[in-house]
């Protein structure tokens, strides 16, 4: 059986990767509608060798669609996801709009594909920094997850194509001894801006009343929902670094029992789509440039805490636009198709 797809936000950084991932993973696509704002209507994109015209989205765009992949921001998702569902489509939404809704499954297929069975039309794709953490933690859950301390090193592409362009502009301006014209960090539409080139900013997204950023609270709340551990302790610090593609994370996990690095490595090697790169003798460890343009999650630097045998430290990396967004969304579509057949 073949399926009629739509991609909302097809012209964006994640939307384009949704198209290329559908191509690369050989999904049974009957046809595909490319949707965006009226700004890009008429633009042409290629899918499997065929040029397809981008259309301005409208509620009726979803009338003949089986599976709609959304990546056009939370406002567009709130506006169009219910319209798509009303017209019989299943929506896989990459925005944060529905992630914490009780009736919406929040899915990393390697971890909780079973949650798809309860869907009511909308399925949420988690935040990029959460997804790669989940792939790693899931492989160790039999040791009893107790407390996760995580610091992220997040690529600027997490803020969209604008931020990638802005960082490159800053580097050019720095070398020319000028001030950059594009100031978008740490948050695009805010008054306060700092240099991102040759800098590190301990802020991803806006601050909330509790002193944590929105990105940090996504790590806490989404992890608890996906792992089905509502009381899991998560202590996050989210940091933006001048990397274009690929988020990295330094993680310390305390378990309810002692765990050796060897035992952890063995479980991680068996985990689906998790690649262990961990050999200090040959300088083998994961880094963002290694993960770029791949769908896997990479883990290394696995070692025991010096004082506490219940605690392990490791480093996790994935392409934030692929496993962190487009690739995971397409995997959800594949899991739905597999469950329907
Ligand atoms: P457009 O290119 O027409 O503006 P990015 O995250 O790289 O900025 O991309 C965002 C994507 O979401 C783009 O494809 C953009 O379309 C689309 N988009 C943003 N807002 C809307 C909206 N209100 N309705 C439809 N598409 C939207
Ligand atoms: C970042 N994690 O790197 C963000 C981008 O909730 O889907 C993705 C935001 C989201 O800035």
DSSP string, 78-109: HHHHHHHHHTTPEEEE-SSSSTT-TTS-B--H
pLDDT of residue 305: 98
pLDDT of residue 181: 87
Residue 9 CA: nearest ligand 1 atom is: 14
Q: Are 234 and 219 in contact (CB under 8 A)?
A: yes
Whose C-alpha lies nearest to ligand 1, atom 24?
37
Helical residues (DSSP H) of the chain, grouped into ranges = 13-24, 74-86, 109-112, 128-138, 161-175, 214-227, 261-270, 288-291, 327-340
Residue to probe by mutation, ligand 1, list 7, 12, 184, most atoms within 8 Å of CB: 12
Closest ligand to Cα 79: 1
Distance from chain centroid for Cα 309? 31
Q: How far apart are CA 140 and CA 311, in angstroms?
A: 12
| Axis-axis angle for helices 13-24, 327-340 (nearest 10) | 50
Task: Please indicate whether residue 39, judged by its CB atom, sits closer than 6 Å to ligand 1.
Answer: yes
pLDDT of residue 294: 98
Nearest by Cα to 35 from 19, 49, 48: 19
- Of the listed 119, 128, 138, 204, which one is catalytic? 128
Residue 79 CA: nearest ligand 1 atom is: 23
What distance in angstroms lies between residue 161's CA and the mean position of ligand 1's atoms?
A: 11
Q: Name 304's Cβ contacts closer than 8 Å, sequence gap at least 6.
A: 259, 260, 261, 311, 312, 313
Q: How far apart are CA 304 and CA 145, in angstroms?
A: 15
Which contiguous run of DSSP H or E holds residue 54? strand 50-56
Residue 56 CA: nearest ligand 1 atom is: 25
- Of the listed 119, 138, 204, 247, which one is catalytic? 247
pLDDT of residue 151: 99
Q: What is the DSSP letter of 326?
A: I
Has 128 been annotated as catalytic?
yes
What distance in angstroms lies between residue 30's CA and the mean position of ligand 2's atoms?
A: 30
Whose C-alpha lies nearest to ligand 1, atom 23?
76
Task: Please indicate whether residue 12, judged by its CB atom, sits closer than 6 Å to ligand 1.
Answer: yes
- Give the 3-state secondary structure of residue 24: helix
Task: Please indicate whether residue 6, judged by its CB atom, sits closer than 6 Å to ligand 1.
Answer: no
Say if the ipTM goes beyond 0.90. yes
Beta strand 29-36 with 50-56 is parallel
Q: How far apart are CA 298 and CA 311, in angstroms?
A: 20
Q: Are 292 and 245 in contact (CB under 8 A)?
A: yes
Positions in the chain whose pLDDT score sits under 70: none
Q: How far apart are CA 11 and CA 7, in angstroms?
A: 9
Has 310 been annotated as catalytic?
no
Q: How far apart are CA 206 and CA 216, in angstroms?
A: 10
What are phi and psi for residue 148, nearest 5 degrees? -115, 120
pLDDT of residue 108: 98
Residue 96 CA: nearest ligand 2 atom is: 6
Q: What is the DSSP letter of 206?
A: P
- Give the 3-state secondary structure of residue 306: coil
Residue to probe by mutation, ligand 2, list 320, 325, 327, most atoms within 8 Å of CB: 320
pLDDT of residue 189: 87
């Amino acid at each position: 059986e073949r399926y009629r797809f739509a991609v909302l936000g097809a012209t964006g950084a994640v939307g384009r990767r949704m198209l290329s991932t559908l191509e690369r993973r050989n999904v049974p696509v009957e046809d595909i509608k490319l949707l965006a704002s009226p700004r890009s209507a008429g633009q042409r994109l290629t899918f499997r060798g065929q040029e397809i015209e981008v259309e301005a989205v409208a509620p009726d765009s979803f009338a003949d669609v089986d599976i709609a992949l959304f990546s056009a921001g939370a406002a567009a998702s709130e506006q169009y996801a219910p319209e798509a569902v009303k017209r019989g489509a299943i929506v896989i939404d990459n925005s944060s709009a529905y992630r914490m809704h009780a009736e919406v499954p929040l899915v990393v297929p390697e971890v909780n594909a079973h949650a798809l069975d309860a869907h009511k039309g909308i399925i949420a794709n988690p935040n990029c920094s959460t997804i790669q953490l989940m792939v790693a933690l899931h492989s160790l859950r039999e040791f009893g997850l107790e407390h996760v301390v995580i610091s992220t090193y997040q690529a600027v592409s997490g803020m969209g194509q604008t931020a990638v362009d802005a960082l490159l502009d800053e580097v050019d301006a720095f070398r020319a001894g000028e001030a950059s014209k594009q100031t978008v960090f740490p948050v695009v539409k805010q008054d306060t801006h700092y240099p991102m080139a040759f800098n590190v900013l301990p802020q991803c997204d806006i601050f909330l009343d509790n002193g944590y950023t929105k990105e940090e609270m996504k790590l806490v709340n989404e992890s608890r929902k996906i792992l089905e551990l509502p009381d899991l302790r998560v202590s996050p610090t989210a940091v933006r670094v001048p990397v274009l593609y690929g988020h990295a994370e330094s993680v310390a996990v305390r378990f309810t029992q002692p765990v050796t690095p060897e035992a952890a490595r063995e479980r991680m090697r068996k985990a689906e789509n998790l690649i262990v790169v961990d050999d200090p003798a040959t300088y083998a460890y994961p880094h963002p440039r290694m993960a770029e343009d791949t769908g896997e999650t990479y883990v290394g630097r696995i070692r025991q805490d010096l004082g506490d045998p219940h605690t392990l430290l490791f480093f996790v990396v994935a392409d934030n636009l692929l496993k962190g967004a487009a690739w995971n969304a397409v995997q959800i579509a594949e899991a739905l198709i597999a469950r329907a057949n």
